[in-house]
Amino acid sequence: MREKTKHDLRLLLLGIVVYAAIQTLISIGFIQDYWERNIVYVCINVILATSLNLINGITGQFSIGHAGFMAVGAYVGAIMTVKLGLPFIVGIIAGALGAAVLGFIIGLPTLRLTGDYLAIATLGLGEIIRITILNIPYVGGASGFMGIPKLTNFTWAFFLMLFVLFFIKNFVNSTHGRACISIRENEIAAEAMGVDTTKYKVLAFTLGAAFAGVAGALFSHYTYIAHPASFTFMRSFDILTMVVLGGLGSMSGSIVGAIFFTGVSAFFADWPEWRMVIYSLLLISLMLFRPQGLFGNKELSLKMFGRLMGGERRDTAKGN
Amino acid sequence: MDSFLQQFYQQLVNGISLGSIYALIALGYTMVYGIIRLINFAHGDVYMLGAYVAFFATTFLKLSFFPALIVAMAVSALVGVTIERFAYRPLRNAPRIAVLITAIGVSLFLEYGGMLVVSPQPRTFPALLPTEIYNLGGVVINSYQIIILVVSLILMAILTYIVHRTKIGKAMRAVSFDNDTARLMGIDVDRVISFTFAIGSALAAAAGVLVGIYYNSIDPLMGIMPGLKAFVAAVLGGIGILPGAMLGGVIMGVVEAMVSGFISSTFRDAAAFGILILILLFRPSGLLGKYVREKV
């Protein structure tokens, strides 16, 4: 236990060092607006990817409607700050709670489904959320919720990301997290061993939704606008792509996947007509040559580098 | 006839023609899913491709409706087989999610590659057939709706014949029933899968051409929504079951027409997904599917 706390503290220190370094580079003007924006997007995408990884990778529940929860967070957060004039932190918490409540309500019946059926149901639910928002005049309907103050900055995004990362990391390493992993490995066996599968599936789903809500609130307060078109199932696919690129079940994989994805998008922004074509080809070739993702379900660590250097390879890709 | 009933019948007619288009696309989804358990997200884009091939065949080669339809179906079948060969076959033994991501990749490639090649602007589909409007006691039926229905029915009849009366159809059914056993029985599974993709893609292309003549307008992203809804239709009827896909398609079309006619067209897409959720919750194996209990 002590060892683990020490490890956490080391990671936290590392996080603060990274923050200080990037913040300094921003302050002295070395990182310009364009890249600063992308760094904030990286933070938001890391939150999205790791929270989806909690549902898809850790608990093994194939959900592809994550953008819906992000939308709820974006809109609820914006209502708090714009319509009710509350501080940003209340907006974020409310966004997270709103998404969590919806995640719970949706998760309870939906998680009885498995595999592809669950995927399609969550995809449909994400779209239903979006279309419902589209039809609410109070939040701007089809033209979007405009006039949201730009409250998100690098500091907010980074520390919320750090919070989410630590939360999920410790959740995964707790009793509850192990229960979730057991569901991923074999749901029926887990149930036979006395794991309350429904409870843990809904728990993971609700937590994932809540963090997607946090990301949504950050997103809408960074882009001045919450627009239904930002939360289509294409956005859900983007998040899923980050998770799968990094490797399902690997948290560090999700982080690297989010950074990689944001980087590729930013890099090709100058060739908008080619951007998606190259992106799709990249996606296909990555899947063809490394279907288990960059990291499989391993975590990135110094030990892993050692193994890579030694040339020993163990494939733990899980087929289902 | 009072106006409510009149509108009801009108929406029923609209819904059935829309539904037969969904049914055509859904057949491809259901066949592919039945055989390799893959939600082929690129299927909706093959439908878009079919519409474009027909567009170019009619505007540049000056073909009339039926030859253009055949050309579109043939080209799309070829594309479908190519996609399967280069994107899905190498992943036959990979985790399912990797194949799904690949399918999303192929879908994006077709959409945005299509935008590069044919420009993102919608194009006006030429009027290939004379429009005639029939009035049956206040319900308006246009000749395109009849053509859509007739062409769809013919294609579905051909498909049913292939699946139930030919050798390759028997092989398809065997592979979808049990892939490994079929292989042991000497069936060339790869060839059967290629054939499935060819038929499914040809049907989707036909649907694309029909939509082109019906709505007069095509664009590179036109496949996304109908593709998804057709998949919902396939799930609704019971995935892997051909009559189920047809039934599901028609139900989806009718419900969608009713919702846009009586409630609001903005809720049209939500209704489709609402049906999906309800079906999944209460009858996860679809209307015509049988429930199979999962074992350890």
Residue B124: strand pairing partners: B217
Chain centre distance of CA B163: 17
Mean pLDDT computed over B261-280? 83
Chain B hits for A241, Cβ within 8 Å: 101, 104
Whether residue A304 is contained in a domain is answered as no
| Candidates A115, A124, A233; nearest CB to B277 | A124
Cα–Cα distances in Å, from A176 out to A173, A202, B295?
Answer: 8, 12, 25
Give the integer Cα–Cα distance in Å for A6 and A261. Answer: 31
Mean pLDDT computed over A264-282? 84
Per-residue pLDDT, A295: 78
Least confident of A221-225, A316-320, B150-154: A316-320
Say yes or no for a CB contact (<8 Å) between B87 and A317. no
Q: Which residue of A has its CA nearest to B95?
A: A319
Letter string b/e over residues A92-128, b meaning 16 or more CB atoms within 10 A of that residue's CB: bbbbbebbbbbbbebbeebbebeebbbbbbbbbbbbb
| Candidates A192, A241, A291; nearest CB to B95 | A291
Cβ(A62)–Cβ(A121) below 8 Å: no
Whether residue A280 is contained in a domain is answered as no
pLDDT bin (cut points 50, 70, 90) of residue B292 is low
For the stretch B91-112, pLDDT in tens is: 988 888 788 889 989 999 999 9
* The two three-digit tokens of residue A299, written as one number: 């975590």
Give the integer Cα–Cα distance in Å for B108 and B222. Answer: 12
In B139-178, which ranges are continuous DSSP H helix? 143-165, 167-177
Q: Which residue of A has its CA nearest to B92?
A: A288
Give the integer Cα–Cα distance in Å for B198 and B66. Answer: 19
Burial of B137 (C-beta count, 10 Å sphere; 0-12/13-18/19+): exposed
pLDDT bin (cut points 50, 70, 90) of residue A29 is confident
Chain centre distance of CA B27: 6
Candidates B35, B108, B121, B291, partner chain A, best to mutate (most A CBs within 10 A)? B108
Q: Which residue of A has its CA nearest to B111?
A: A277
Give the integer Cα–Cα distance in Å for B14 and B21. Answer: 11
Chain A hits for B271, Cβ within 8 Å: none
| Candidates A114, A273, A319; nearest CB to B116 | A273
Mean pLDDT across chain A, nearest whole number?
87
Whether residue A241 is contained in a domain is answered as no
Min CA distance, A26 vs chain B (Å)? 35
DSSP 8-state assignment for residue B216 = S
Checking if the pLDDT of A2 tops 80, the result is no
Cα–Cα distances in Å, from A106 out to A109, A175, B194, B228, B255?
Answer: 6, 24, 38, 20, 23
Sign of the Cα torsion B96, B97, B100, B101 reads negative
| Candidates A131, A188, A240; nearest CB to B267 | A131
Q: How many CB pairs under 8 A join A and B?
A: 137
Domain residue ranges in chain B: 22-220
First CA to last CA across chain B, in angstroms?
Answer: 58
User: By three-state DSSP, how is residue B218 classified?
Assistant: strand
* Structural domain count of chain A: 1
Checking if the pLDDT of B1 tops 60, the result is no
Candidates A134, A278, A288, A290, partner chain B, best to mutate (most B CBs within 10 A)? A288
* CA geometry: angle A191, A192, A194, nearest 5 deg: 65
Chain B hits for A273, Cβ within 8 Å: 112, 115-116
Give the integer Cα–Cα distance in Å for A272 and B197. Answer: 31
For the stretch A44-83, pLDDT in tens is: 999 999 999 999 989 989 898 999 999 999 999 999 999 9
Whether residue A13 is contained in a domain is answered as no
Kindly tell me the number of DSSP H helices and DSSP E strands found in chain A.
13, 0
Give the integer Cα–Cα distance in Å for A125 and A106. Answer: 8
Regarding beta strands B123-124 and B217-218, do their DSSP bridges make them parallel or antiparallel, or are they unpaired? antiparallel
Burial of B265 (C-beta count, 10 Å sphere; 0-12/13-18/19+): exposed
Per-residue pLDDT, A301: 66
Cα–Cα distances in Å, from A31 out to A17, A192, A194, A286, B159?
Answer: 17, 54, 52, 30, 60
Cβ(A220)–Cβ(A65) below 8 Å: no
Chain centre distance of CA A320: 23
Burial of A60 (C-beta count, 10 Å sphere; 0-12/13-18/19+): buried
Checking if the pLDDT of A259 tops 50, the result is yes
Checking if the pLDDT of B182 tops 60, the result is yes
Chain A hits for B113, Cβ within 8 Å: 277, 280
Whether residue A319 is contained in a domain is answered as no
Min CA distance, A29 vs chain B (Å)? 36
* The two three-digit tokens of residue A273, written as one number: 């007509």
Say yes or no for a CB contact (<8 Å) between A117 and B87. no
DSSP 8-state assignment for residue B217 = E
In A226-295, which ranges are continuous DSSP H helix? 233-246, 251-267, 272-289
Say yes or no for a CB contact (<8 Å) between A188 and B294. yes
Min CA distance, B132 vs chain A (Å)? 36
Whether residue A86 is contained in a domain is answered as yes
| Candidates A112, A240, A284; nearest CB to B102 | A284
Say yes or no for a CB contact (<8 Å) between A283 and B102. yes
| Candidates B91, B115, B276; nearest CB to A120 | B276
Give the integer Cα–Cα distance in Å for A240 and B100. Answer: 10
| Candidates A120, A127, A275; nearest CB to B269 | A127
Whether residue A217 is contained in a domain is answered as yes
Largest pairwise CA distance in chain B:
62
Residue B140: strand pairing partners: B135
Chain A hits for B100, Cβ within 8 Å: 119
Say yes or no for a CB contact (<8 Å) between A283 and B104. yes
Say yes or no for a CB contact (<8 Å) between A279 and B108. yes
pLDDT bin (cut points 50, 70, 90) of residue A112 is confident
Per-residue pLDDT, A302: 55
Least confident of A65-69, A85-89, A302-306, B163-167: A302-306
DSSP 8-state assignment for residue A145 = B
* The two three-digit tokens of residue B266, written as one number: 């903005």
Cβ(B123)–Cβ(B218) below 8 Å: yes
Chain A hits for B295, Cβ within 8 Å: 188
Whether residue A181 is contained in a domain is answered as yes
Domain range enclosing A99: 34-231
Chain A hits for B97, Cβ within 8 Å: 56, 62, 244, 248
State the ipTM, two decimals.
0.85
Chain A hits for B99, Cβ within 8 Å: 287, 291
Checking if the pLDDT of A4 tops 80, the result is no
| CA trace torsion B41, B42, B45, B50 (10° rounding) | -130
* CA geometry: angle A236, A125, A241, nearest 5 deg: 15
Least confident of A215-224, A303-312, B7-16, B242-251: A303-312
Q: What is the pTM of this model?
A: 0.85
Q: Which of B146, B145, B136, B32 is nearest to B89 (CA)?
A: B32
A210: domain CATH number is 1.10.3470.10
Written as one string, the DSSP assignment of B79-146 is HHHHHIIIIIGGGTTS-HHHHHHHHHHHHHHHHHHHHHHH-SS-EEPP--S---EEEETTEEEEHHHH
Cα–Cα distances in Å, from B112 out to A234, A262, B181?
Answer: 13, 19, 40
Q: Which residue of B has its CA nearest to A318?
A: B95
How many CB atoms within 10 Å of residue B156? 20
One-letter amino acid for residue A183 of the chain: I
Mean pLDDT computed over B199-227? 93
| Candidates B91, B109, B276; nearest CB to A121 | B276
